[in-house]
Structure 1
Amino acid sequence: MNIHTEKLVSIGSHPLGEELPYLSQTLLDFASSLADDLYNLLSKKNGFLAFESALHVFPAENSSLIMTLETWNSDNLWRNNYGTLVKNCLFFAEDIFGGQFCIFEDKIYSFDPETGTKEFVANNIEQWAKAILSDYNVLTGFPLAHEWQKKNGNLPIDKRLLPKIPFVVGGDFVVDNLYSVDSVQGMKIRADIAQQIKDLPDGAKINIRVVD
């Protein structure tokens, strides 16, 4: 029984997509052995927000009104800015900072948009849901999401919170270091940082550029 998946879905928002999700062959190929897991999650609730929008699970359907799995994973949106750093990844959810959760090589990883690095989270969706429920403060950034929105109002679904001083260069995890930005723009900004530092030794200098 997928008790943790059921629990996570139950505390989420209303579905972001239509009742029955649709996974294209491209998405199925990316998801590989976890395709059934992903479909099971989205068939229970086709995309949702949880922990005061700190967790955003993308819906699967064809729609021009909301960000879908298909659009979010298209090469021409933001993925091409990361190049090989996102090869064979299927991004299905994100935290408050736009940190991604992805299916990669039949397991689930977190993806740091500032560094382009992946960290193992779980073997499947059920274990991922268990991890989220057990440690949502860390894995979703909920405390800062709550504090920022208490001060600034609800965060729109198409925006995430980015650090004014990137975390990777010592920016603090505090509200005063955060600002809201369009999700796609936020990924492009961090892709520029990730591409600069991927081959650099510790302590090397990088240039922070604003991407239009």
Structure 2
Amino acid sequence: MSIIQEIKESWSWAGIEPQEVVGENDFGNLMIKDVHGRYWHLCPEDVYCKVVANNRAELDVLSTNQDFLADWYMSSLVEQAKEKCGALTDGRKYYLVLPGVLGGKYDASNINTAPLIEIIRLSGDIGRQIEELPDGAQIQLKVVE
């Protein structure tokens, strides 16, 4: 399955109509252009996919914002991930085993690797399930094998 198709299937509930992935980082964050020319940030570790720029000019401005760039490149966390898991192989990304939005720690103890397609799928499924919950709501994870 293509990345665009997986984004459609896993994140369409958020309103995205993806056309092209224009950027990605080592943690599977994606910058996605939609069919309307808007740019979305899919952030698996915080389980969201939202519009960050309404057009290319706004994206260009965002790409000079130092806070955004620090968040995007995640340099310290990437170094921890490389030390723990080694270099990434084709199609794989680092990810937080327990997403930050669910209380997962942003450190090596909570990092592993997985295929990007699975990271997109899992974060979309979790996001859809917790979308309507207020901040601080209690959740219960059930593992089904």
**With structure 2 as the length reference, what TM-score do the two structures score?**
0.75
Unaligned runs of 5+ in 2: none
- Higher deviation after alignment, 100-109 or 173-182: 100-109
> Displacement of 1:112 after TM fit?
2.6
Question: Which of residues 20, 41, 49 in structure 2 aligns to 1:117?
Answer: 49
Q: 1:100 aligns with which of 17, 30, 36?
A: 30
Deviations 1:136-186 (A, max 9, x none): 432122322123213432111311111122110222211221111111111
Query: Which residue is 2:13 aligned to?
Result: 84
Pairing partner for 1:198 from 128, 131, 136:
131
Residue 176 and residue 196 in structure 1: after superposition, are their counterparts in 2 closer, same or farther (change >3 A)? same
CA gap of 1:129–1:197, structure 2 versus 1, over 3 A, is closer
Q: Identity over the aligned pairs, expressed in percent?
A: 20
Q: How many residues align?
A: 141
In the superposition, the TM-score normalised over structure 1's length comes to: 0.54
State which structure, 1 or 2, has the greater radius of gyration over its C-alpha atoms: 1
Query: How far, CA to CA, are the matches of 1:188 and 1:87 in structure 2?
Result: 14
Distance 1:133 1:193, change over 3 A: same
**Greater RCO, 1 or 2 (C-alpha within 8 Å, sep 6+):** 2
- Greater than 6 Å deviation, 4+ residue runs: none
Distance 1:211 1:121 in 2: 38
Return closer, same or farther for 1:80/1:135 CA change in 2, 3 Å cut-off.
Answer: closer
- Greater per-residue strand proportion: 2
Q: Residue type of the partner of 1:109?
A: W
User: Relative to structure 1, is the Cα distance of residues 84 and 119 closer, same or farther in structure 2, using a 3 angstrom cutoff?
Assistant: same
The equivalent residue for 1:9 is: none
Q: In structure 2, what is the equivalent of residue 166 of structure 1?
A: 99
Q: What's 2:111 paired with? A: 178
